């Protein structure tokens, strides 16, 4: 019998990858037939460290590549050479990358060049528009091309892959973000002292007002898109029944626009990026969520929170089809009108606040580990039926 353990090298470097890889890294470490090696690239620094601390992950390799306001080409050049050193040293049987970041592309390419098989977690997401999200749509397509195993979150993402000529095998696992969300909500819900501590960070909030939680950081929105989002927030904040909390991403291009447009605006609280516990607690307390984030689009529906997606297209249409998210774009009028509608029409808000879980059931990591270990497993089947692309357009038009 061959008892040699397989070495799996997991590579990630940004906040969302770390949140989504954390449950998987834990599950890999507990698998007897696998030697799990973790390499963080440090594409993000403090926003990555917040997640590593929370999930108690000590990486075997930390490449510390981040530089201030990094360019994509400078970043990928640093990533390729430093990941190559790790791949050469560890001689893994397989490399695992996540999602659509520059780290994912560099990890996949560095492994491919060394003829190491690549598995892609969160494969198959597509907008069909190479300019949005940019550069992520290219990154995720590229990683799927080189992967021989693709772990796709939903049947819809699986259908995207079926249309392409790819050499890998795909499994529908659910999104590991729901595994992470479950573990954190369990902690918050079961520990009164922790909940009080998290709420104390936001002692300035008036509990009689409705909380609107905002995030926005996409590169394709830099400039006009982000300015229009901020203009909408200024209008919404004129209402006396709301308070807006916006944890501002550390990208200097985001901070310059957001701080100049919203710093000092009444009812708008700009705060530093929250650790995952603090952010999930804000999600739990929110009445509405406004975001262009991929991960937040997946988490909010699982907590029964209506989401306005401030993008022109989304690769995560499942919540829109389920009727709990609406694609509003970055137009100020559309954002403000949709927020007013959802705040003033309680039945519309109730319809959008249904707790749905199109993205996962909390068992994605277990399925991925089973696939890597060669054990059979049942693929993820969402309870919410999938819809068509047209229904995404209809709900946007209905609210714009």
Of 310 and 371, CB closest to ligand UD1: 310
74 touching ligand UD1, by CB under 6 A: no
User: Does residue 217 have an active-site annotation?
Assistant: yes
SS3 for 228-265, per residue? HHHHHHHHHCCCCCEEEEEECCCCHHHHHHHHHHHCCC
Beta bridge partners of 291: 215, 309
Of 16 and 329, CB closest to ligand UDP: 16
Q: Identify the active-site residue in 249, 311, 367, 396.
A: 249
User: Does residue 249 have an active-site annotation?
Assistant: yes
223 touching ligand UD1, by CB under 6 A: no
Is residue 59 within 8 A of residue 39, CB to CB? The reply is yes
**Which option in ligand UDP, ligand UD1, none does residue 287 bind, with CB closer than 5 to 8 A by kind?**
none
User: Does residue 201 have an active-site annotation?
Assistant: no
**Which option in ligand UD1, ligand UDP, none does residue 295 bind, with CB closer than 5 to 8 A by kind?**
ligand UDP
Please name the helix (run of DSSP H) or strand (run of DSSP E) that holds residue 253, with its range, or none.
helix 252-262
Report the Cα 261 to chain-centroid distance in Å. Answer: 25
Q: Is 96 helix (H, G, I), strand (E, B) or coil?
A: strand
Which positions from 82 to 101 touch ligand UD1 by CB under 6 A, shown as an x/- string?
Answer: ------------------xx
Please count the residues of this chain forming the interface with ligand UD1, following the rule CB under 6 A. Answer: 25
Of 45 and 285, CB closest to ligand UD1: 45
User: Binding ligand UD1 by CB under 6 A: which of 8, 16, 291, 308?
Assistant: 16
Q: In the numeric block, which tokens belong to residue 254? A: 């985001």
User: Binding ligand UD1 by CB under 6 A: which of 250, 261, 337, 341?
Assistant: 250
191 touching ligand UD1, by CB under 6 A: no
User: Binding ligand UD1 by CB under 6 A: which of 7, 35, 205, 251?
Assistant: 251
Residue 320's nearest CA partner among 383, 389, 380 is 389
CA torsion through residues 204, 258, 317, 22, sign: negative
46 touching ligand UD1, by CB under 6 A: yes
81 touching ligand UD1, by CB under 6 A: no
Nearest distance, CB of residue 101 and ligand UDP, angstroms: 7
User: Does residue 354 have an active-site annotation?
Assistant: no
Is residue 271 within 8 A of residue 248, CB to CB? The reply is yes
Angle (CA) 344 350 352, round 5°: 100
* Integer angstrom CA distances of residue 84 from 89, 96, 115, 146: 9, 14, 12, 16
Q: Identify the active-site residue in 44, 217, 281, 367.
A: 217
Nearest distance, CB of residue 294 and ligand UDP, angstroms: 4
Is residue 336 within 8 A of residue 148, CB to CB? The reply is no
Cα–Cα dist 297/309, whole Å: 7
238: Cα within 13 Å, side-chain hemisphere: 7
User: Does residue 219 have an active-site annotation?
Assistant: yes
Tokens 């090298």 belong to residue = 9
**Which option in ligand UDP, ligand UD1, none does residue 43 bind, with CB closer than 5 to 8 A by kind?**
ligand UD1
**Which option in ligand UD1, ligand UDP, none does residue 279 bind, with CB closer than 5 to 8 A by kind?**
ligand UDP
Cα–Cα dist 386/321, whole Å: 7
Is residue 24 within 8 A of residue 84, CB to CB? The reply is no
Of 307 and 372, CB closest to ligand UD1: 307
Cα–Cα dist 234/221, whole Å: 18
Give the interface segment with ligand UD1, choosing from 44-52, 116-124, 371-379, 390-398 (CB under 6 A): 44-52
42 touching ligand UD1, by CB under 6 A: no
Catalytic residue numbers? 100, 122, 136, 217, 219, 249
Kindly list the residues in this chain that would bind ligand UD1 in the complex (CB under 6 A).
14-16, 43-47, 66-70, 72, 75, 100-102, 135-136, 217, 219, 250-252
């Amino acid at each position: 019998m061959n008892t040699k353990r397989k070495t799996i090298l997991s590579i990630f470097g940004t906040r969302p990858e770390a949140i989504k890889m954390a449950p998987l890294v834990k599950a890999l470490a507990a698998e007897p037939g696998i030697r799990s090696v973790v390499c963080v690239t440090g594409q993000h620094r403090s926003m990555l460290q917040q997640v590593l601390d929370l999930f108690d992950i000590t990486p075997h390799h930390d490449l510390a590549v981040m530089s201030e306001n990094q360019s994509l080409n400078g970043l990928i050049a640093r990533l390729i050479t430093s990941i190559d050193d790790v791949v050469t040293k560890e001689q893994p049987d397989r490399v695992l990358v996540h999602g659509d970041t520059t780290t994912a592309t560099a990890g996949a390419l560095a492994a491919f060049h060394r003829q190491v098989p690549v598995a892609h977690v969160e494969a198959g997401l597509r907008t069909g528009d190479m300019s949005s999200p940019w550069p992520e749509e290219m990154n995720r397509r590229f990683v799927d091309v080189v992967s021989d195993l693709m772990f796709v979150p939903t049947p819809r993402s699986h259908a995207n892959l079926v249309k392409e000529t790819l050499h890998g095998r795909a499994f529908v696992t659910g999104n590991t973000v729901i595994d992470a969300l479950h573990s954190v909500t369990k902690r918050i819900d079961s520990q009164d002292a922790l909940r009080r501590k998290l709420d104390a960070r936001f002692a300035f909030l008036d509990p009689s007002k409705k909380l609107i939680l905002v995030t926005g950081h996409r590169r394709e929105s830099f400039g006009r898109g982000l300015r229009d989002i901020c203009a909408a927030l200024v209008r919404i904040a004129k209402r006396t029944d709301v308070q807006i909390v916006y944890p501002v991403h550390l990208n200097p291009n985001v901070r310059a626009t957001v701080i100049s447009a919203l710093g000092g605006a009444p009812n708008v609280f700009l705060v530093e990026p929250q650790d995952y516990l603090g952010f999930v607690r804000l999600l739990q307390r929110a009445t509405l969520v406004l975001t262009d984030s991929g991960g937040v689009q997946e988490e909010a529906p699982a907590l029964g929170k209506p989401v306005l997606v401030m993008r022109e297209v989304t690769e995560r249409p499942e919540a829109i089809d389920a009727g709990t998210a609406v694609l509003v774009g970055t137009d100020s009028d559309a954002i403000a009108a949709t927020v007013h509608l959802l705040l003033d029409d309680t039945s519309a808000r109730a319809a959008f606040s249904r707790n749905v879980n199109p993205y996962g059931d909390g068992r994605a990591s277990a399925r991925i580990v089973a696939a890597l270990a060669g054990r059979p497993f049942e693929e993820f089947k969402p309870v919410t039926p999938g819809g068509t692309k047209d229904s995404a357009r209809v709900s946007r038009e209905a609210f714009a």
